């Protein structure tokens, strides 16, 4: 029996890397952060047009984008020049924690 493979959603990071948002990862994001349900396009938009991108903890990158009084934070990893993936995403009103991190974009 063949199973249909879901198609990953993708976005281009500011460095030009294709970042994948897989169905498996999206399921875990919406299970942990139910307010994210219905906002996959918001996550992709934050990667493609962030206010800023900061360094994460262990090689991750953190894209932050302001949206109507709150921010969307997307943690992702670039594993090569042409491939990467979303780790998690969530909404927050407190952006100061992320704004203090080392910024990698804009330069």
Task: Reduce the DSSP state of residue 30 to 3 states and report it.
Answer: helix
pLDDT digits (tens, 9 = 90+) for 45-86: 999 999 999 999 999 999 999 998 899 999 999 998 889 999
Rounded percentage of the chain residues whose pLDDT exceeds 90: 79
Q: What is the CA radius of gyration of the chain?
A: 14
Return the domain boundaries, the chain: 10-105
What does the pLDDT read at residue 36?
94
Structural fold of domain 10-105: YaeB-like fold (3.30.2310)
- DSSP alpha helix (H) spans, 1-107: 23-32, 40-48, 96-99
Residue 8 exposed, middle or buried by CB count within 10 Å (0-12, 13-18, 19+): middle
Phi, psi of 16 (to 5 degrees): 90, 5
């Amino acid at each position: 029996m063949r199973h249909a493979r879901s198609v990953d959603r993708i976005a281009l990071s500011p460095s030009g890397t294709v970042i994948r948002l897989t169905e498996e990862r999206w399921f875990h994001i919406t299970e942990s952060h139910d307010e994210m349900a219905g906002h996959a396009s918001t996550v992709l938009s934050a990667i493609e047009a962030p206010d800023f991108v900061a360094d994460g903890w262990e090689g991750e990158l953190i894209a932050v984008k302001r949206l109507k009084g709150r921010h969307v934070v997307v943690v992702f990893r670039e594993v090569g020049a042409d491939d990467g993936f979303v780790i998690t995403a969530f909404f927050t009103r407190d952006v100061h924690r992320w704004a203090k991190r080392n910024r990698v974009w804009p330069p």
